[in-house]
Amino acid sequence: MSGQPGSSLIPRPGWPDTDQSSNRWSAILPFFLIAFIGVPLAEIYLLIEVGQVIGALPTIALCVLTAIIGGGLLRHQGMSTVQRARHNLDQGKVPALEMLEGVALVVGGALLMTPGFATDALGFACLLPPTRRALVRAVLARAHVTYGPVGGTPGDSRGAGGHDTIEGEYRRRE
């Protein structure tokens, strides 16, 4: 067991910090539980309730109808977003907002293809322009974006600290 990563008490360079990685999983786990257990259970409940009110066949037809309407809306809104992105590119601007709206459109389309009424409501919220833009703005408000040069200039032989690289030969001893 001593040859496996993380089995030693001494941290090794290059191996992920297990405490940091467990913190990431503890933050992501509730999302996965909701997405893969909570949402399907809510959808089943809603389908049963709607089916009891309007019947089984109308419930199925309604699910198919929302998928068809969502597909048409996705096509129309997607083309509109692509046109706005091209317009921004032609003006020399980065179409960041349009790219995020494109992601929201893809998510909305996927949600509309998922059978159920709760996912349909979320999908339509991602496809309709006012709610989609509000959603994108909310995501942007929470995001912390930094950009700038990552390393040196191309062809620069110095490392990130700005020190010269020392070249030489080495031999591996076995």
105 and 74 in contact (C-beta within 8 Å)?
yes
**HEC string for 80-100:** HHHHHHHHHHHCCCCCHHHHH
Residue 11 lies in a domain: no
Strand locations in 17-56 (E): none
Task: Judge whether 133 lies within some domain.
Answer: yes
Contact 50, 117 (CB under 8 A): yes
Half-sphere exposure of 34 (CA within 13 A, CB side): 6
Instruction: Give domain status of residue 23, yes or no.
Output: no
Count structural domains, the chain: 1
Q: How far does Cα 148 stand from its chain's mean position? A: 23
Residue at 123 is within a domain: yes
- Residue 124 inside a domain? The answer is yes
Q: Which domain holds residue 85?
A: 63-142
13: in domain: no
Note whether 54 and 106 are within 8 A (CB).
no
Residue 92 domain-assigned (yes or no): yes
Per-residue pLDDT tens digits of the chain, which is 174 residues long: 444 554 445 555 555 555 556 677 788 888 888 889 999 999 999 999 999 999 999 999 999 999 999 888 889 888 989 999 999 999 999 888 899 999 999 999 999 988 999 999 999 999 999 999 999 999 888 887 666 565 555 555 555 555 667 777 878 787
Rounded to an integer, what distance in angstroms lies between the CA atom of residue 18 and that of residue 1? 16
Alpha-carbon distance of 126 to 112, in angstroms, equals 10
pTM of the model: 0.64
